Amino acid sequence: MPSTTILITISINVVSLTIGFIAFQLMNELDRSDKKQIIDQMITSIINMILFIWLAKIILHLSIFISDPIAVLAYPSDANAFYLALILTSIQLVYKAKRNGLKLARLFYHFIPVLVFAGFTYHFIEIIWMDNSFAWGNFILMFMLLSLFLLLKRLINQKTMLLLISYCWVFGKLLISWLLPFTTIFGYMVEPLFLVMVALIISVLYLFNRKLVFL
């Protein structure tokens, strides 16, 4: 049943993100007020992303939604909804950076341990609970990114770490998509072109805004 699939996916994502935030709490050395501010910003971003995914699913299936809303909402979101939601979330974050002074580079840097630990947990659950052999590639990638972050976090600055982890993640995902029939991001199947676009965007932001004034 689609509704059962949605509940299972939501449950795994909730558990994974919870582990990610617990890891962030234990590892991060920010003072209490800064840590609370960053956590609030990350949770808000995740909630907005989830809402945009639902909105994107409605937009992409508007005719079906008008005739039978439950039919659209009951089925899992696809990659197109994920792409559109990511674009909408990015626009919102850039708007907040321009208007409210949100420091995106700082936010993205602190997102690293949350998302890497969450991804590690997600694929671990896939392997152990769902018996998904295709999850091994992503599990190994998350383990390598996690090890890289823990080894280098005191040795390099935040901007360098953000770029390094981002490029390694993109390269790893492209390798997985070449070796396996598909690769996923928290259950959403993504195309290699999407990963290439992510790498290009990262490169453009770095080349044309090296100081990362609002990023």
Token pair, residue 111, equals: 């997102």
Handedness of CA 142, 168, 81, 115 (dihedral sign): positive
Tokens of 194: 């999407």
pLDDT tens digit string along 157-215? 878 888 888 889 999 999 998 988 888 888 888 888 888 888 888 777 766 655 544 44
Assess if residue 215 is contained within a domain.
Answer: no
Domain annotation covers residue 214? no
Residue 73 forms part of a structural domain:
yes
What does each of the 215 residues of the chain score in pLDDT, given as a tens digit?
455 666 777 788 899 999 999 988 888 777 788 888 888 999 999 999 999 998 988 888 887 778 877 777 666 678 888 999 999 998 998 888 888 877 877 888 888 889 999 999 999 998 998 888 888 999 999 999 999 998 988 888 878 888 888 889 999 999 998 988 888 888 888 888 888 888 888 777 766 655 544 44
Which residue segment(s) compose the domain that 98 sits in?
2-208
Give the integer Cα–Cα distance in Å for 123 and 180. Answer: 15
Q: Note whether residue 182 is domain-resident.
A: yes
Residue 55 belongs to a domain: yes
In this structure, how many other beta carbons lie within 10 angstroms of the beta carbon of residue 47? 10
The whole-angstrom separation of Cα 162 and Cα 156 is: 10
Total domain count for the chain? Answer: 1
Are β-strands 183-185 and 188-190 bridged in parallel, bridged antiparallel, or unpaired? Answer: antiparallel
Evaluate whether residue 54 is within a structural domain. Answer: yes
